[in-house]
Amino acid sequence: MDLVLRLLMLLLIPWGWAEVTFDFQDCGIFNEELHEKFTHITDIHEHPWMARLGYETNRGIAYKCLAVLISTQYLLAPAQCFETKQLAETTIRYALLGDWNPRNAHMKPDCDDMQRCNAEPQLMEIEEIVIHPEYRTSTFSNNISILKLVRNVTFTDHIRAICLPPLGINPIGQYLSLAGFATNATIGYKLKALVHITSNSKCRRNLVDYDNLFAATPYKLKHLCGFCNLNSSLITGSALMGVHADELEPKNYYLVGLLLAMSNDMPHIYIRVQPYRKWIESNINLMDMDEGKQ
């Protein structure tokens, strides 16, 4: 099926429609021992919701952005991954799931230093991309999109979905987890880091420094800024994550934000996911209903 790139202007669905639910039952698999390991190299099974977005070029598939799996068929990614300049000579076509070593051939199993190996990654075709209708290419505002795969992905130890964020979370001042792949193509593994989230006022100043005046307007601020303990820059779309606890026990990772910009001399910029949760759920319901009519 041909890829459809569209804008959905509808933000809310009628109250009579059933809502998609993303609870903490089967998402955001959490391993406390791995979470506490002070290393920048992820375990081969760690953060299995990261996907590399494949752009078709004359020289084969190029991976330029990341997306995050939130269900068996849907992912989230920054809308900037689908700007005209990004797609000038390419077509976004695939999501590669279950990859750990980007230097390895993308359809071969990855193995760590202890010779523990994953099954081969799953290269999934993207059926549809829904860009937030109020996204503007000149700013970071509403820089989020939903990707639908042509079919459900098969969950394995190295391919799972992350939870969506609960309502009412306040990550300011917290240390959160960050996971993704390096912009440096010679680094042969998925990376992770800790990110300290700065105040909203400091984040606004950072957005102004990035020449995003509209996004820095206080009542429009849907971003997070932070510093991390990683020397390597990560690819756009890397996942900023918090941990959900149940009865004082950590249980699941949930998606706090998506990386938009990462600079060595400035705080990193993330788009928050929680303010868009209703928009995400509404549009997934729309796409599921459209599929049911076919």
pLDDT of residue 156: 92
At 45, list the tokens: 């099974």
Question: Shortest CA distance to 92 belongs to which of 54, 148, 147?
Answer: 54
Q: What is the mean pLDDT of the chain?
A: 83
- Residue-range domain boundaries for the chain: 48-161+277-293, 175-273
- What whole-number distance in Å separates Cα of residue 293 and Cα of residue 105? 39
> In the structure, what pLDDT confidence band is assigned to residue 248 with cuts at 50, 70 and 90?
confident
Please give the residue that has the higher pLDDT: either 220 or 72.
Answer: 72
> In the structure, what pLDDT confidence band is assigned to residue 62 with cuts at 50, 70 and 90?
confident
Contact 237, 77 (CB under 8 A): yes
Contact 161, 280 (CB under 8 A): no
Our CA dihedral for 53, 57, 60, 63, rounded to 10 degrees, sits at -20
> In the structure, what pLDDT confidence band is assigned to residue 138 with cuts at 50, 70 and 90?
confident
Q: Which long-range contacts (CB under 8 A, 24 or more apart) does 55-62 make?
A: 55/86, 55/87, 55/90, 55/91, 55/92, 55/93, 56/90, 56/91, 56/92, 56/93, 56/94, 57/89, 57/90, 58/89, 61/93, 61/94, 61/106, 62/90
Residue 140 reports pLDDT greater than 70: yes
Taking the domain 175-273, which CATH number applies?
Answer: 2.40.10.10
What architecture (CATH level 2) is domain 48-161+277-293?
A: Beta Barrel (2.40)
- What whole-number distance in Å separates Cα of residue 88 and Cα of residue 91? 8
Domain 175-273 in the same topology as domain 48-161+277-293? yes
pLDDT in tens, 256-278: 999 998 877 778 999 999 999 99
pLDDT of residue 216: 52
Contact 236, 259 (CB under 8 A): yes
Residue 200 reports pLDDT greater than 90: no
